[in-house]
């Protein structure tokens, strides 16, 4: 029996497995530039975050109808349940779909139809987090939040993802202020490829309650002390860090050092269809590569629930 856990850093578009991508392509009349699923999988060799994002956005062309998004989420939840996930806080990237002419309502209602039956079908409670693409403009982020307003009952929080370097958190001050006014929880990717200063800025300017990745905080001991003192969760994604060359090998992962520094770290899968495994696989991977003992694994599982937005409808950190 896999240990019960929550997954807090999971891009639903990053769960699009090659088999489903080809099935949706056939159904929607989309031609993919790969002969078959094996050829597509062969393209999953990344040199950095951007090289992954290029493929990730291109493959989304197969997602067109609400049913496509429902099937995508169903497939993730079924796999997650098999790996012990009991609660999932799921990111989605609306701008990557609206830019292709898919209305935001199609995306949210499609995902929502799956999430509505998730507890009953898979024993997984869920939350949905709308992410802004940080390599798009601040105006585009504001327009996206505006377009999401009719669907806010389905949305727990906002996040910030895509190409990090050159797109500091402060660019999105206004949209995060509006999100706070709307009662939405706030998280942001920071310190994945970008510097520790982006982690500080996400906390101080955007008022985020959790940092996604956050690895590079380790370069700034004062920041580490602050994150530990304020119990700011970091949603770490070990397989992702290796595949996107943030670190060389799993054995080099700073996870044990982060835990030893008193940080509230969680283990997550990020984009499991692309990075070689789902969240349980990430747990097994770090256990084996880093010699984690059972108590450390229990701490990681416990942290995942502590860091979640479950049973806590009020934002933890007032601005
Ligand atoms: N979008 C999907 N996965 C991402 C990641 N690891 N970093 C930034 N943006 C992303
Ligand atoms: Zn991510």
Instruction: Give me the CATH number covering residue 100.
Output: 3.20.20.140
The verdict on residue 313 lying in a domain is no
Provide mean pLDDT across the span 256-270.
98
- Ligand 1 pocket mutation pick from 49, 169, 202 by most atoms within 8 angstroms of CB: 49
- Does the pLDDT at position 319 exceed 50? no
The verdict on residue 197 lying in a domain is yes
The verdict on residue 248 lying in a domain is yes
Neighbours of ion ligand 2 (CB under 5 A): 270
Q: What is the pLDDT of residues 219-249, one digit of tens each?
A: 999 999 999 999 999 999 999 999 999 999 9
The verdict on residue 50 lying in a domain is yes
Provide mean pLDDT across the span 296-311.
96
The verdict on residue 98 lying in a domain is yes
The verdict on residue 119 lying in a domain is yes
- How many CB atoms are located within 10 Å of the residue 308 CB? 21
Provide mean pLDDT across the span 118-145.
98
Q: Does ipTM top 0.95?
A: yes
- Strands of 157-161's sheet in order across: 5-11, 85-92, 125-133, 157-161, 185-190, 210-213, 233-236, 264-267
Q: Which domain holds residue 110?
A: 5-306
**Domain count along the chain:** 1
Ligand 1: atom nearest CA of 244 is: 6
The verdict on residue 112 lying in a domain is yes
Q: Is the CB of 162 under 6 A from ligand 1?
A: yes
- How many CB atoms are located within 10 Å of the residue 146 CB? 12
Task: Quote the tokens at residue 238.
Answer: 């070990």
The verdict on residue 319 lying in a domain is no
Q: Is the CB of 49 under 6 A from ligand 1?
A: yes
- Ligand 1 pocket mutation pick from 47, 271, 274, 276 by most atoms within 8 angstroms of CB: 271
Using the 8-state DSSP alphabet, how is residue 218 labeled?
Answer: G
Q: What is the pLDDT of residues 174-233, one digit of tens each?
A: 999 999 999 999 999 999 999 999 999 999 999 999 999 999 999 999 999 999 999 999
Task: For residue 271, give the ligand nearest its CA.
Answer: 1
- Does the pLDDT at position 278 exceed 90? yes
Ligand 1: atom nearest CA of 161 is: 9
Provide mean pLDDT across the span 34-38.
98
Q: What is the pLDDT of residues 151-164, one digit of tens each?
A: 999 999 999 999 99
Mean of all residue pLDDT scores within the chain: 97
């Amino acid at each position: 029996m896999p240990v019960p856990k929550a997954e807090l850093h999971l891009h639903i578009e990053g769960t699009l497995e090659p088999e489903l991508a080809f099935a949706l392509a056939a159904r929607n009349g989309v031609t993919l530039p790969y002969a078959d699923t094996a050829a597509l999988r062969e393209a999953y060799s990344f040199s950095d975050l951007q090289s992954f994002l290029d493929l990730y956005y291109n493959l989304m062309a197969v997602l067109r109808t609400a049913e496509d998004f429902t099937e995508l989420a169903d497939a993730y939840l079924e796999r997650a349940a098999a790996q012990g996930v009991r609660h999932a806080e799921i990111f989605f990237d609306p701008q990557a779909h609206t830019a292709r002419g898919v209305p935001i309502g199609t995306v949210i209602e499609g995902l929502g139809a799956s999430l509505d039956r998730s507890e009953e079908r898979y024993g997984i409670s869920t939350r949905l987090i709308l992410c802004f693409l940080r390599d798009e403009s601040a105006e585009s982020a504001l327009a996206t939040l505006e377009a999401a307003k009719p669907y806010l009952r389905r949305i727990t929080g906002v996040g910030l993802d895509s190409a990090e370097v050159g797109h500091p958190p402060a660019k999105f001050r206004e949209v995060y202020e509006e999100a706070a006014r709307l009662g939405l929880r706030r998280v942001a990717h920071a310190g994945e490829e970008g510097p520790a200063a982006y982690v500080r800025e996400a906390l101080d300017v955007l008022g985020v309650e959790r940092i996604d990745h956050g690895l590079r905080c380790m370069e700034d001991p004062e920041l580490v002390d602050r994150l530990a003192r304020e119990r700011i969760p970091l949603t770490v994604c070990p397989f992702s860090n290796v595949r996107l060359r943030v670190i060389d090998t799993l054995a080099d992962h700073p996870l044990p050092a982060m835990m030893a520094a008193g940080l509230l770290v969680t283990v997550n899968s990020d984009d499991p269809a692309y990075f070689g495994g789902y969240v349980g696989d990430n747990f097994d991977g770090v256990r084996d590569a880093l010699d984690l003992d059972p108590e450390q694994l229990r701490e990681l599982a416990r942290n995942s629930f502590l860091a979640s937005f479950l049973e806590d409808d009020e934002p933890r950190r007032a601005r």
